[in-house]
Amino acid sequence: MNKINCEDVLMAKMAELDAEKQELSGEQINLHLKHCENCHSEIEQFLNADSLLKRQARNQQDLDLWPGVEKHIGSHLKSEIGWRPFALLGALLVAFRLLEMLPDRDFGLAFKLVPLIFVVALFVLIRENPFRINSELVLER
């Protein structure tokens, strides 16, 4: 290898500290660090930052949230309304589509609003706002 520059030494030292393969030998790195004050101070700063990061620890949560979530999901799956209003809506939309497909018939703009009216009527019937954000969810312990 020709002349060793500071960038190569810094990269090799960081690779050595990470237990990775480096191009320079440990002897070459240490020799350069003895003679180059800039590299020596950069490595010291790196080691200080590394030791600071290693001392940090994350709080581990041991609380299992799934049973509360599963119970809450299960309670909402058993709807009082059932499937009948949705089946009725589907039948009405199919009938509407069949009427719309009749040849040589122009029902006008009001007729094109019928599917929207059907859907709004269904949500009024089941008294549910499909766009409501539920902020009342509470997980049980």
DSSP 80-98: SS-SHHHHHHHHHHHHHHH
Q: Are 11 and 47 part of one and the same domain?
A: yes
Residue pLDDT, tens place only, 50-95: 888 888 877 777 788 888 888 777 665 555 566 777 788 888 888 8
Domain boundary among 16, 32, 55: 55
Domain count, the chain: 2
Q: Are 45 and 77 part of one and the same domain?
A: no
Q: Which of 51, 19, 49, 47 is nearest to 33 (CA)?
A: 47
Q: Are 13 and 42 part of one and the same domain?
A: yes
Judge whether 133 lies within some domain.
Answer: no
Judge whether 60 lies within some domain.
Answer: no
Q: Which residue has the higher pLDDT, 126 or 20?
A: 20
Label residue 131 left, alpha or beta by phi (over 0 means left) and psi (-120 to 50 means alpha).
alpha
Judge whether 140 lies within some domain.
Answer: no
Judge whether 137 lies within some domain.
Answer: no
Q: Which residue has the higher pLDDT, 130 or 88?
A: 88
Judge whether 1 lies within some domain.
Answer: no
> Is residue 1's pLDDT more than 50?
no
Judge whether 86 lies within some domain.
Answer: yes
Q: Are 82 and 118 part of one and the same domain?
A: yes
Q: What is the pTM of this model?
A: 0.37
Question: Residue 82 belongs to what domain range?
Answer: 66-125
Q: Are 51 and 74 part of one and the same domain?
A: no
